[in-house]
């Protein structure tokens, strides 16, 4: 249940009421809310006189639900906004991993030359083998910060586990919570305490309910700036790396108020399929698209087979513009 308190209730009083009622207390826009589990179906007696409005839910998708707020949340980054009524589809580009200054500078220059704003690059990589490249760590974060400074780009990078989450929060503009990390409570709880945008990727074996509940951890802790990212599920199919759940995207659009980013690169796993899949994604009217691109994919230290080269990335952007326009969006 979500209870919106009357304007006369102070934050201090609200926090006290929340602890007496095992609820979260957050400020959202100019309102103070108390949030408890969806098992609570009526306003507790001691809260009745403080209650302005309340919402009852069938399950624990509450703050993220259209039933609570049908308006899509707006997320503001430097030079660009997504969600709300912006109808922007943000193209996030860059390599799987930050590998060297030369490499990430080449990616930053590409984005800048195309008029794009947001550079990705992993520094702490959640690899499936301990013998694979694990990322540059803090040195990589410093390179991303340099690119932000030199090119005025937003940067997005992923947290692998809670040991370095504070570093990630300090250095990045958008915190990426990876598919394997989305159950990490340490990461989610730390993300709840910052106001920086958080892009949560859906685990490859995660139901939509569990996925949005991960977002609820961040939202109920007080950070409203959450973006959902579908990046493919593991199915019986082995021809492609994963199976992009576009049905799930339609479900998220119907029932949640959070901006949605799609990642065809990790879903497909092979560069040949990324452009056509990306166009299908943009045709759904989405808030963002995450595409891996590398100056020389053949020598990439992670996800080499799925990364576009820079010419392919530029061509893709041109081909996406009319698709976005056909559904009332624009590529930014």
Binding site for Mn ion (CB under 5 A): 96, 303
Decide if residue 140 touches ligand PEP (CB under 6 A): no
Decide if residue 160 touches ligand PEP (CB under 6 A): no
Contacts of 226 (CB under 8 A, 6+ apart): 64, 73, 197, 198, 200, 215, 218, 219, 258
Planar angle of CA 18, 20, 23, nearest 5 degrees: 35
How many chain residues bind ligand PEP (CB under 6 A)? Answer: 10
Q: Two tokens at 198?
A: 């958080």
Decide if residue 268 touches ligand PEP (CB under 6 A): no
Among residues 73, 201, 241, 301, the one that binds ligand PEP under rule CB under 6 A: 201
Decide if residue 122 touches ligand PEP (CB under 6 A): yes
What residues are paired with 227 via a beta bridge?
199
Nearest to 159 by CA among 139, 140, 142, 181: 181
**From the list Mn ion, ligand PEP, none, which binds 252 (C-beta under 5 to 8 Å, kind-based)?**
none
**From the list Mn ion, ligand PEP, none, which binds 184 (C-beta under 5 to 8 Å, kind-based)?**
none
Tell me the closest approach of the beta carbon of residue 36 to ligand PEP, in angstroms. 31
Tell me the closest approach of the beta carbon of residue 97 to Mn ion, in angstroms. 7
Decide if residue 294 touches ligand PEP (CB under 6 A): no
Stretch that binds ligand PEP, among 11-19, 59-67, 172-180, 321-329 (CB under 6 A): 172-180
CA atoms within 13 A on the CB side of 248: 24
Query: Do the bridges between strand 174-177 and strand 154-159 make them parallel or antiparallel, or are there none, so unpaired?
Result: parallel
Tell me the closest approach of the beta carbon of residue 1 to ligand PEP, in angstroms. 33
Decide if residue 241 touches ligand PEP (CB under 6 A): no
Q: How many angstroms separate the CA atoms of 200 and 26, rounded? A: 20
Q: Two tokens at 297?
A: 């994919």
Q: Under DSSP, is residue 110 helix (H, G, I), strand (E, B) or coil?
A: helix
Decide if residue 179 touches ligand PEP (CB under 6 A): yes
Q: Interface with ligand PEP by CB under 6 A: which residues?
A: 96, 122, 126, 158, 178-180, 201, 231, 266
């Amino acid at each position: 249940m979500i209870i919106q308190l009357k304007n006369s209730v102070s934050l201090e009083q609200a926090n006290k009421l929340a602890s007496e009622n095992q609820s979260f207390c957050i400020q959202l826009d100019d309102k103070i809310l108390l949030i408890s589990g969806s098992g609570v179906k009526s306003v507790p007696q001691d809260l009745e006189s403080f209650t302005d409005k309340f919402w009852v839910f069938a399950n624990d998708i509450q703050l993220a639900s259209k039933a609570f707020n049908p308006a899509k949340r707006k997320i503001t980054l430097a030079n660009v906004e997504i969600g709300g009524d912006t109808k922007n589809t943000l193209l996030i580009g860059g390599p799987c991993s930050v590998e060297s200054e030369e490499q990430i500078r080449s990616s930053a220059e590409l984005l800048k030359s195309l008029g794009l704003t947001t550079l990705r690059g992993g520094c702490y990589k959640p690899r499936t083998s301990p013998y694979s490249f694990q990322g540059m760590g803090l040195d990589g974060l410093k390179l991303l910060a340099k690119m932000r400074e030199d090119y005025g780009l937003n940067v997005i990078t992923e947290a692998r586990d809670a040991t370095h989450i504070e570093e990630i929060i300090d250095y990045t503009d958008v915190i990426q919570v990876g598919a394997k990390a989305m159950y990490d409570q340490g990461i989610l709880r730390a993300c709840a305490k910052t106001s920086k945008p958080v892009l949560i990727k859906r685990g490859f074996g995660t139901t939509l309910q569990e996925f949005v509940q991960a977002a609820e951890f961040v939202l109920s802790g007080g950070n409203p700036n959450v973006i959902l990212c579908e990046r493919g599920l593991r199915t019986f199919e082995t021809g492609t790396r994963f199976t992009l759940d576009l049905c799930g995207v339609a479900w998220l659009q119907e029932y949640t108020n959070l901006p949605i980013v799609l990642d065809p690169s990790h879903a497909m796993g092979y560069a040949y399929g990324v452009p056509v899949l990306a166009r299908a994604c943009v045709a759904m009217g989405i808030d963002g698209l995450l595409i891996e691109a590398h100056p020389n994919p053949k020598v990439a230290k992670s996800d080499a087979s799925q990364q576009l080269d820079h010419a392919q990335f530029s061509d893709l952007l041109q081909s996406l513009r009319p698709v976005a326009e056909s559904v009332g969006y624009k590529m930014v």
